[in-house]
Chain A
Amino acid sequence: MADLPIWHYDTLFLTLALLFGITALAMQNLMGAAIVFGAYSFLMCLIWTTMGAVDVAFTEAAVGAGVSTVFIFATIYNTGVSATPNSPRIAFKIFAGLIAFGTGAFLLSALPDFPDWGDPKSPVNSTIAPYYIANSITDAHVPNIVTTVLADYRGFDTLLETTVVFIACIAIYSILRIDNAKSKVTEPDIITSPPAYDPTDSLIIRQASRIMVPFMQLFALYVIAHGHYSPGGGFQGGVILGASIILLSISFDLKHVLQQWTEKKIMILTALGVLIYAMVGLACILMDGVYLDYAALDSVLPGDEAYARSHGILLVEIGVGITVMFSMIGIYINLASNGRFDRGL
Chain B
Amino acid sequence: MEDIIPKFNYIVVVVLMMTGLWSMLAQGNLIKKCIGMAIFQTGIILFFISIGAKNDALIPILTEGANHTFDNPNIDKVTNPLTQILMLTAIVVGVATLGVGLALAQKVYQQHDSFDEDEILNNQTK
Contacts and interface: CB of A to CB of B under 8 A. Distances in A.
Question: A contacts B directly in the complex (CB < 8 Å)?
Answer: yes
A284 B60 CA distance: 28
Question: Could you tell me the dominant secondary structure of chain B's interface residues?
Answer: helix
Interface in A1-42: 1, 4-6, 10-11, 14-15, 17-18, 21-22, 24-25, 30, 33-34, 37, 40-41
A79 interface: yes
Given A52-B60, A92-B26, A132 B81 contact: yes
A137 interface: yes
A291 interface: no
A60 interface: yes
Interface of A: 1, 4-6, 10-11, 14-15, 17-18, 21-22, 24-25, 30, 33-34, 37, 40-41, 44, 47-48, 51-56, 59-60, 63-64, 67-68, 71-72, 74-76, 79-80, 83, 85-87, 89, 92-93, 95-97, 99-101, 103-104, 107-108, 111-112, 114-120, 122, 124-125, 128-130, 132-134, 136-137, 143-146, 149-150, 154, 157-158, 161, 164-165, 167-169, 171-172, 175-176, 189, 229-231, 235, 324, 327, 331, 334-335, 338
A174 B56 CA distance: 49
A97 B52 contact: no
**Which are the 9 A-B pairs with shortest beta-carbon distances?**
A168-B96, A52-B79, A96-B25, A96-B26, A100-B22, A118-B55, A51-B53, A104-B18, A100-B18
Interface residues on B, range: 35 or more
Most buried by B among A6, A53, A103: A53
B15 A4 contact: no
B32 A63 contact: no
B5 A145 contact: no
A132 to B, nearest CB: 6
9 contacts: A52-B57, A75-B31, A80-B114, A86-B118, A96-B25, A100-B18, A120-B57, A169-B96, A338-B106
Given A89-B26, A125-B54, A154-B85, A14 B12 contact: yes
Given A4-B6, A96-B25, A117-B9, 16 more contacts: A5-B55, A17-B16, A30-B32, A51-B53, A52-B54, A75-B102, A89-B26, A96-B21, A108-B14, A114-B51, A117-B8, A124-B51, A129-B52, A129-B81, A230-B61, A235-B92
Contacts of A124: 51-52, 80, 82-83
A130 B93 CA distance: 27
Contacts of A71: 95, 98-99, 102
Most buried by B among A158, A165, A168: A168
Contact of B25 (A4, A67, A92, A161): A92
Interface string B65-105: 00000101101101111111101110111011111101111
B112 to A, nearest CB: 11
